[in-house]
C-alpha cells in the first residue's frame, strides 16, 4: 500500500524546517495573541521576501484568509469578480459571502482557470445601474485551481484593468510558492508590482502544519484587519505556534525549494503518463499538479490499489497533486500502476 498519495498537498505532513522552528518556539513563556518574538520575526521575513513594507496577519486556514480579506475589501452591496472554478466560489461553503455579509461572487469564464482583462472589463460594464451588485474586487488564484499560472505580464494587465475600474485586486495564493518557483520570479513581480492589494499567502500546502498569512500591500486597506481577524475567530492566542514555522520555511529559502521539488515531481508525472495511450491531459502542467481524464475502470483500479486522488476538482477529470515530500519512486510506481490499469486496446 502506498504511504504517500496524489490527492492533495495537504495530505503531506510538516517539513523538517517548520517542525524544527515549532520545537524551537516551544520554550518558556511568550506574550500571546501575536505579541511574541516569533510573530514579529515571521512578519519581518515576509516583508523581506516581498521587498516592501506590507502588513502581515496570520490566520488558521485559506478559507478564513480569503473570506476575511474579501470582507475587508467590500461593502455588503458589492460584488467580487472571480473565475467560475475559483476556490472562493466552489470550495469555501459560502464563507466569503458569509463574512462579507452578503457580497455576491460573480463568476467569470476564462481558459485554463485564468481570468482575462477583457473578461473583467465586460463584467464591470455589463451593468452599471443601481439594481446590480457593484463590482468592487477582482480575485485571482495563483497558481490556479487547475494547476496553471498567470505570468507577471498577465497579472500586470489584470492589475491595470482593476485600477481602471476602481476594483481592489485580491490574490488567493494557497499555492503561491509553487507559482513563484515555477516562474522563477521575485515575489514582488507577481504581487504588488502587478497591482495586487492583498495576498492570501499559503503556508499549509507548502509544508507548514497550519496557517496562512494575509499580506496587505495596500496598507490603508489593512486598517483594523486585526479586529476583523479576531471577530472571525482567527486570532490565535498561542500565536507563536502559527507564526514560527514560517521562519523555518522562509529563512533559508526552504519554501521555494520544496515548492520547486513538488513542481518537478508533477513534471515527472506528466512526462510519464502523457505517453500512456488513452490518457488525456486536461490542462498545461505548470506547477505541482497534473489533471487527466481517465477511464472509470482505471480510476477504480488505482483506488483499489490504495492510491488516493481526487476526481472532482476544478473542471472534472482526475487531479494528481504532488507535495513537498513526494518522492520520485512514488511517481514512478503510480505511473506504472496507471499504465497497467488502462484498458487493453483492441485491434
Ligand atoms: C487549499 C486551498 C485554499 C485553502 O483552503 P483551506 O482548506 O481553507 O485552508 C484556498 N484556495 C485554494 C485555491 C486552495 O487550493
In a domain, 9, yes or no: no
Residues 163 and 308 in one domain: no
Beta pairing partners, 213 = 58, 201
* Nearest residue by C-alpha to atom 15 in ligand 1: 174
Predicted local confidence at residue 346, as pLDDT = 57
- Residue 55 · residue 219 · CB < 8 Å: yes
Q: Give the torsion through C-alpha atoms of 299, 303, 307, 313, to 10 deg.
A: 50
- Give the model's pLDDT for residue 132: 96
Q: How far apart are CA 334 and CA 270, in angstroms?
A: 12
* pLDDT value at residue 2: 84
Whether residue 170 has its Cβ less than 6 Å from ligand 1: no
Q: Can you give the pLDDT at residue 316? A: 56
pLDDT digits 0-9 by tens, 149-205: 999 999 999 999 999 999 999 999 999 999 999 999 999 999 999 999 999 999 999
- 182 in the same domain as 309: no
Supply the pLDDT for residue 122: 98
Beta pairing class for 168-173 and 104-108: unpaired
Number of domains in the chain: 2
Using CA positions, which residue lies closest to atom 14 of ligand 1?
174
Atom of ligand 1 nearest to the CA of 60: 9
Decide if 346 is inside a domain: no
Residues 281, 195: Cα–Cα separation, whole Å: 33
Identify the burial level of 344 via C-beta atoms within 10 angstroms of its C-beta, where 0-12 means exposed, 13-18 middle and 19 or more buried: exposed
Is position 332 within any domain?
A: yes
Say if residue 345's pLDDT is above 80: no
The strand pair at 134-141 and 168-173 is best described as parallel
Atom index in ligand 1 nearest the CA of residue 86 equals 13
Ligand 1 mean position, distance from CA 344 (Å): 38
Asked if 270 and 66 touch (Cβ cutoff 8 Å), the reply is no
pLDDT > 70: percent of the chain: 98
Task: Residue 329: give its domain's CATH number.
Answer: 3.90.1150.10
Tell me which of 223, 250, 277 is where a domain ends.
Answer: 250
Mean pLDDT confidence for 2-31: 96
pTM value is 0.97
Sequence-separated (6 or more) residues with CB below 8 Å from residue 274? 281
Q: What is the pLDDT of residue 137?
A: 98
Are residue 97 and residue 184 in the same domain, yes or no? yes
The ligand 1 atom nearest the CA atom of 92: 8
Which of 62, 95, 205 should be mutated for ligand 1, with most atoms under 8 A from CB?
62
Give yes or no for a contact between 104 and 80, defined as CB atoms under 8 angstroms apart: yes
Higher pLDDT among residues 262 and 312, named by residue: 262
Cβ of 63 less than 6 Å from ligand 1: yes
Tell me whether residue 188 is in a domain: yes
Distance of CA 86 to the CA centre of its chain: 10
Per-residue pLDDT, averaged over 34-57, amounts to 98
Alpha helix positions (H), the chain: 16-25, 37-50, 62-71, 87-90, 95-99, 117-126, 152-164, 176-183, 225-231, 240-250, 254-273, 296-304, 328-340
201 touches 212 (CB < 8 A): yes
* Average pLDDT value for residue range 242-264: 97
Protein residue with least CA distance to atom 10, ligand 1: 62
Could you tell which of 202, 234, 315 is best to mutate to test the pocket of ligand 1, judged by most ligand atoms within 8 Å of the CB? 202
| Domain end point (choices 213, 230, 250) | 250
Q: Please report which confidence band the pLDDT of residue 1 belongs to, taking 50, 70 and 90 as the band edges.
A: confident
Judgement on whether residues 123 and 226 belong to the same structural domain of the protein: yes
Is the shortest distance between the CB of 211 and ligand 1 below 6 Å? Answer: no
Summary count for the chain: helices (H), strands (E): 13, 10
The boundaries of the domain holding residue 296 are: 254-341
Within 13 Å, how many C-alpha atoms sit on residue 187's CB side?
24
CA dist., res. 133 & res. 126, Å (int): 11
Residues 297 and 212 occupy one common structural domain: no
> How crowded is the C-beta side of 261, counted as CA atoms within 13 Å?
17
Residue 315, pLDDT > 70, answer no
Let me know: does 68 contact 227? Beta carbons within 8 Å: no
Split at pLDDT 50, 70, 90, the class of 30 is very high
Residue 101 shares a structural domain with residue 237: yes
Q: Which residues pair with 173 in a beta bridge?
A: 201
What separation in Å is there between the alpha carbon of 63 and the centre of ligand 1?
A: 6
CATH of the domain at 200: 3.40.640.10
Instruction: Mark which of 250, 285, 304 sits at the end of a domain.
Output: 250
Amino acid at each position: 500500500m502506498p504511504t504517500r498519495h496524489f490527492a492533495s498537498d495537504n495530505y503531506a505532513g510538516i517539513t523538517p524546517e517548520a517542525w524544527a522552528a515549532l520545537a524551537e518556539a516551544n520554550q518558556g513563556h511568550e506574550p500571546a495573541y501575536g505579541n511574541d518574538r516569533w510573530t514579529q520575526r515571521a512578519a519581518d521575513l515576509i516583508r523581506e521576501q516581498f521587498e516592501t513594507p506590507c502588513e502581515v496577519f496570520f490566520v488558521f486556514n485559506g478559507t478564513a484568509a480569503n473570506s476575511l480579506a474579501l470582507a475587508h475589501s467590500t461593502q455588503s452591496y458589492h460584488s467580487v469578480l472571480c473565475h467560475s472554478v475559483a476556490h472562493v466560489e466552489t470550495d469555501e461553503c459560502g464563507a466569503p459571502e458569509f463574512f462579507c455579509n452578503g457580497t455576491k461572487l460573480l463568476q467569470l469564464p476564462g481558459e485554463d482557470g485564468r481570468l482575462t482583462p477583457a473578461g473583467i472589463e465586460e463584467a464591470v460594464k455589463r451593468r452599471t445601474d443601481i439594481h446590480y451588485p457593484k463590482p468592487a474586487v477582482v480575485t485571482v488564484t495563483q497558481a490556479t485551481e487547475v494547476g496553471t499560472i498567470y505570468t507577471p505580464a498577465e497579472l500586470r494587465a489584470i492589475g491595470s484593468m482593476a485600477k481602471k475600474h476602481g476594483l481592489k485586486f485580491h490574490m488567493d495564493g494557497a499555492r503561491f510558492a509553487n507559482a513563484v518557483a515555477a516562474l522563477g520570479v521575485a515575489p514582488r513581480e507577481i504581487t504588488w508590482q502587478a497591482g495586487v492589494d492583498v495576498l492570501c499567502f499559503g503556508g499549509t500546502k507548502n509544508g507548514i502544519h497550519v496557517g496562512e498569512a494575509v499580506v496587505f500591500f495596500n496598507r490603508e486597506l489593512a486598517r483594523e484587519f486585526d479586529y476583523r481577524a479576531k471577530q472571525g475567530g482567527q486570532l490565535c492566542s498561542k500565536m507563536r505556534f502559527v507564526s514560527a514555522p514560517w521562519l523555518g520555511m522562509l529563512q533559508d529559502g526552504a519554501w521555494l525549494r520544496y515548492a520547486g521539488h513538488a513542481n518537478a515531481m508533477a513534471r515527472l508525472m506528466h512526462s510519464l503518463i502523457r505517453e500512456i495511450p488513452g490518457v488525456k491531459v486536461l490542462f498545461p502542467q505548470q506547477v505541482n499538479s497534473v489533471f487527466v481524464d481517465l477511464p472509470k475502470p482505471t480510476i477504480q483500479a488505482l483506488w483499489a490499489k490504495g492510491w488516493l486522488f481526487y476526481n472532482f476538482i476544478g473542471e472534472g477529470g482526475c487531479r494528481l497533486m504532488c507535495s513537498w515530500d513526494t518522492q520520485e519512486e512514488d511517481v514512478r510506481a503510480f505511473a506504472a500502476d496507471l499504465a497497467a490499469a488502462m484498458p487493453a486496446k483492441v485491434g
